[in-house]
Amino acid sequence: MSEQSYTTENTGLQDLLSMGFSEIEAMRLIYMRDHVTEEIEYREMVEESRRLNFIRWLIEHDRLSR
């Protein structure tokens, strides 16, 4: 972990603690903040895959021409 990310995370932790969150709650919020984009990207990839599969089905069943 780089010094800057530790400082940023520690500052975020202190901010959350000062707002009344417990240490466990604050750590969970920081984890969620850091990983939410990964989840969004995954959902977007799944949606894109489903769209492509549907288009492939349409073409294979002569519902859509190439």
How far, CA to CA in Å, does 23 sit from each of 2, 3, 9, 17, 34?
A: 21, 21, 13, 7, 17
What is the SS3 assignment for 64? coil
| pLDDT of amino acid 66 | 65
| pLDDT of amino acid 11 | 79
pLDDT greater at residue 9 or residue 49:
49
DSSP assignment letter at 2: -
User: Can you state the percent helix, strand and coil of the chain, rounding each to 5?
Assistant: 80, 0, 20
Is pLDDT of 6 > 70? Answer: no
DSSP assignment letter at 6: H
pLDDT in tens, 11-66: 789 999 999 999 999 999 999 888 888 888 899 999 999 999 999 999 999 998 76
pLDDT in tens, 24-37: 999 999 998 888 88
Q: How many CB atoms neighbour CB 29 within 10 A?
A: 15
